[in-house]
Each structure stands twice: as C-alpha cells, then as structure tokens.
Amino acid sequence: MDRWKAFEARVREIKDLDGILGLMTWDEETYAPKAGRGPRGRHNATLEAIRHERLAAPELGALIEVLREDKSLGSDKATMIERIQRRRLREVAVPQALVRRLAEARSAALAAWQDAKRVGDFQAFRPYLQNVFELTRARAEAIGAAGGRYTSLYDVLLDEYEPGMTAARLEPLLSCLKEALVDLLEAIRSRGTPPDRSFLMGRFPDASQWALTLRLLADLGFDTERGRQDRSAHPFTNAVSEHDVRITTRIFDDNALSAIFWTIHEAGHGMYEQGFDEKDHGLALAEAPSMGIHESQSRLWENQVARSRAFWTHYLPLLKETFPDQLRGADVESFYRAVNVVKPGLLRVEADEVTYNLHILLRFELERALVGGQLSVADLPAAWNERMKRNLGVSPPNDGVGCMQDIHWAQGAIGYFPSYTLGNLYAAQLMAAFERAQPDAWGTIERGQFGVLLGWLRTNVHRSGYRQTAEETVAAASGEALAVEPFLRYLRAKFSHVYRL
Ligand SMILES: [Zn+2]
C-alpha cells in the first residue's frame, strides 16, 4: 500500500477521535445530566487512551520516518507530517497510564469545580485541582525529558498552545504591556469622563436576547447550516468537524451585553473553524497553528468590531427595536461609550479591553509559580487575592469569583492564558492591516457588510491553516512582526475618545 495513503488514513482516524472527543466535551458542558459525570469521565479516559495509542503507534512512527525523507511529497504533505510528528512526540513521551489518570482527574475536577465555584468553596475543589496540577506537571516532565529543548516545565505546557513560544520571550512583551496599561488606566481614572450606562441597567428578556444572538450570528457570517449555538455556564467553541462547529453563549436578563459579546466572541472562533480550505478538511492542515491566533479571531470580532462606533451605528436601531423601553435614552455615541466603560472588576470574562490583559498577567504569573513549585495549590487563593488587590484594586468576596472563576485549570488547560493576550495583540495587527487594505473598512462595518472583513480574514488568516505558524500568518497579513504597539495605539486612540482624555 502506498505509504502516503497509509499515513493519511491514520491521520484521519486520529482526527475522527479528536472530533468525537470534542462532541463529548460539548455534551458534558451543555446537556449531559449531572449524574452521568462519573461514567462520562471513564468514557473520556477510554477514548483518550485509544487516541494516545494511535498517536504513539510504532507503525505511525515508522511511516513518518520514511515519509520525512521523501522530498517528492511537496510542502503541504511535509507540513502535515511535521504536525503529526509534533503531536506524536508529546504522546510517545507520556505513559498511557498517565494519560488515563489525567483524563479522569480532569473530568473529576471539572465536576467538582462546577459545584465548588457556585458556593465559593475552594477547600472542596482544592484536592481535585492539586491532582490536575500534579499530573500535568508529571506529563510536562515526561515530555521535557524526551524532548530536551525546553528550559522549564512551563514552557513545555505553553508550547502546546503556542508552538515555539517561551516564557522568556513572552515576559518582555507582557511587562511592556503591563506598564502601558497601568498608565492608561491611571489616566482614565484620574482625568477621564465616565460614560453614562444607566440605560443598560434594565431587564432584558431572555427570549429576545436569544433571538438577537441568532440574528447576529447569521449577519456576521457564521454558517448555521454547518454549526449551531447552545448555552453553557462558560461559553466555548468546539469543532466536531469543519461542517459541525458548536458554539455556546450565556444569557443574563439583567445584562443586555453579556450574551451579545459572548456570541460574537465564539462566532469569531467558529467562523475560523469554518474557514479552513475545503481540500484540507479532515486533515492536520485544517487546524489553527496556535490558540493565540484562534483568540485573535474571537477578540477581533468581539472588540475591534463589536465595540466600535461603526458597529453600533448599524445595530443600535435593531437593539432599540428589540428593547424599546430599556434603551429609550441611548444614541450611537452614548451607546458606543457605554459598551467601552473601563472599570477594574473581579471577573476576567466581564473585563474591559484596558484591564483584560491585567487579568491574564495575574494568571500567567500564578500558573507559572504553581507549575514551577514556587506556589502551592493551598496558597493559591491568598496569592490570587493579594495580586487582584495590587494590580486591579479589587478584593474577591469569595473564591468562586476569585481563583475559581475560570474553567481552564479544572480542565487541565494550564499554560493557555497567554494565548488570550497574544490574541489581542494579533487582532490589533490584523485589524490595522485590514484598514490599510480596505480604504472603506469602517464603512463596510457601518453598513453591516461583514462579508468584506470575513473575506479578508478567510484569505489572509483562515485558509492557510497550519501551513504557517501564528506569527508567520500575522506577519504575512500585516507586514509586521508580533508587537504590542499596534494594540496600544488602538487602545489609546479609542479610550482617549471614550473618556475624553
Ligand atoms: Zn476565546
């Protein structure tokens, strides 16, 4: 049998398992009954063990070895081989028993987190979290020992979400960002004129909000024939396949904006998943090269687009039609300012664009210390609260809105948080590039012609998939290397206007 065909068949099987596991995660966080969590943990563990077996199979290793030497294959095939080899090396290094234990630990932690977060009981969650951190460290140690090119356990974990990125490279970017954000926040606090947001304080019926989010999805270009929206406590996107992209949102009837921005955020992820080249479907090329670039797509639509004046020039009439009594006093300028209020708060997911990255920095510092052993899980709440006070000036009344607010650590997604900040930086670079490429960029958004931006993103970001690294993709699209300046320029321009600085 043709070696390439044999390799491709194995890749498709691994991708099938990815899809099935994705569907199960989606189910667990949307509709699965609570009582099913125990058996579900075992289902997950069994499937993950099978996927591990497939990736670690010596036959796959032998095929990769031969195919890597075949220079006649061309660059796409070579990229696919390298992609699978990358995944394979991380699996081969980890004993199957550890894979299974970690999958079970994550399922148990997720269930414990859901209950403990609601009542703010960190002690109930602590042993589960400790277990996830210990097993994740063991996994990172195994991978690090096999690879040898990592300088810290944290880099092993970071590399999973941001291939090639290191904490040492991130640190100067993040500290430069932190300094500028603290300055901007200080200017806003001391000299700014706060926007009026009293018209956002009413009640916004659930059914109207749900209908509105579906309308937004269709308008932006999320293909509902190849995807769907449901609800979950912590919204997410999960691509079962390129033709079945699941996104979720959440609705609060005392908050008109939460569902809108969640839906748009996840639509950005979802449209990326739907935007890979048709001929790559089911293969390792139809993948984002990093989670940072994935987050750039969600953050671009959520912030650069949906928190712009142009966007609300288009949508405020519809919003006022939907909620006529609540929004009677709003005009475009006041609404634009109201959706860009800067207020240091407890929750990352409700944070504005100025303070958001300060939340990420705190998590980056803490998870690095937890992985590095400088901080114990038992001391996490105190360390969290101390940093919240220092960086943002707020104190969580309980750990449910403190160190337990995010799903990531319970899920074992340790080393993920920097992807959000990278996403913000990439998004600013991409939007500035779109403005340069499209003279009437903001006019198209004001007229609701979102296909122009989506088309540009399809061509410049989505279609290349795994062929280019995240940094290469953004550099090719924007003509500049990863930098904080475009993001800071964008923030300063926007918030000088919003806060009349
Ligand atoms: Zn996201």
pLDDT attached to residue 148: 64
Find the 8 Cα to ligand 1 centroid distance in Å.
Answer: 30
The DSSP element (H or E) to which 249 belongs, if any, is strand 244-249
As given in the structure block, the two tokens for residue 229 are 């929206």
Question: Which residue stretches of the chain have pLDDT < 50?
Answer: none
Torsion of CA 272, 275, 280, 282, to 10 degrees: 60
Q: Which of 480, 90, 416 is nearest to 236 (CA)?
A: 416
pLDDT attached to residue 390: 92
Find the 66 Cα to ligand 1 centroid distance in Å.
Answer: 38
252 DSSP β-pair partners: 255
Burial class of residue 333, CB neighbours in 10 A (0-12, 13-18, 19+): middle
pLDDT attached to residue 50: 95
pLDDT attached to residue 68: 96
Find the 395 Cα to ligand 1 centroid distance in Å.
Answer: 25
pLDDT attached to residue 149: 83
Q: Is 91 annotated as catalytic?
A: no
Catalytic residue among 48, 266, 287, 302: 266
Q: Which of 382, 387, 335, 386 is nearest to 361 (CA)?
A: 387
Distance CA 433, CA 420 (A): 20
Q: What single letter denotes the amino acid at residue 452? A: V
Distance CA 278, CA 282 (A): 9
pLDDT attached to residue 347: 95
Distance CA 464, CA 287 (A): 9
Find the 278 Cα to ligand 1 centroid distance in Å.
Answer: 23
Q: What is the pLDDT of residues 99-145, one digit of tens each?
A: 889 988 998 998 899 899 999 999 999 999 999 999 999 999 999 99
pLDDT attached to residue 107: 86
Find the 295 Cα to ligand 1 centroid distance in Å.
Answer: 5
Handedness of CA 158, 162, 164, 169 (dihedral sign): negative
pLDDT attached to residue 251: 97
Find the 269 Cα to ligand 1 centroid distance in Å.
Answer: 7
DSSP conformation class of 351: -
Burial class of residue 478, CB neighbours in 10 A (0-12, 13-18, 19+): buried
Find the 465 Cα to ligand 1 centroid distance in Å.
Answer: 17
Find the 328 Cα to ligand 1 centroid distance in Å.
Answer: 32
Find the 32 Cα to ligand 1 centroid distance in Å.
Answer: 23
Q: Which of 327, 356, 361 is nearest to 341 (CA)?
A: 356
Distance CA 17, CA 10 (A): 11
pLDDT attached to residue 1: 60
HSE of 1 in the Cβ direction (CA atoms, 13 Å)?
Answer: 8
pLDDT attached to residue 37: 79
pLDDT attached to residue 45: 87
Find the 4 Cα to ligand 1 centroid distance in Å.
Answer: 35
Angle ∠(410,206,446) on CA atoms, nearest 5? 95
Q: What single letter denotes the amino acid at residue 464? A: S
Query: What is the SS3 string spanning 175-232?
Result: HHHHHHHHHHHHHHHHHCCCCCCHHHCCCCCHHHHHHHHHHHHHHHCCCHHHEEEEEC
CB atoms within 10 A of CB 148: 6
Find the 406 Cα to ligand 1 centroid distance in Å.
Answer: 12
Helix (H, G, I), strand (E, B) or coil at 250: coil
pLDDT attached to residue 84: 96
Find the 348 Cα to ligand 1 centroid distance in Å.
Answer: 12
Q: Which of 460, 438, 350 is nearest to 401 (CA)?
A: 350
Angle ∠(26,353,254) on CA atoms, nearest 5? 65
Find the 6 Cα to ligand 1 centroid distance in Å.
Answer: 35
Distance CA 185, CA 180 (A): 9
Residue at token pair 């797509």: 297
pTM listed for this prediction? 0.95
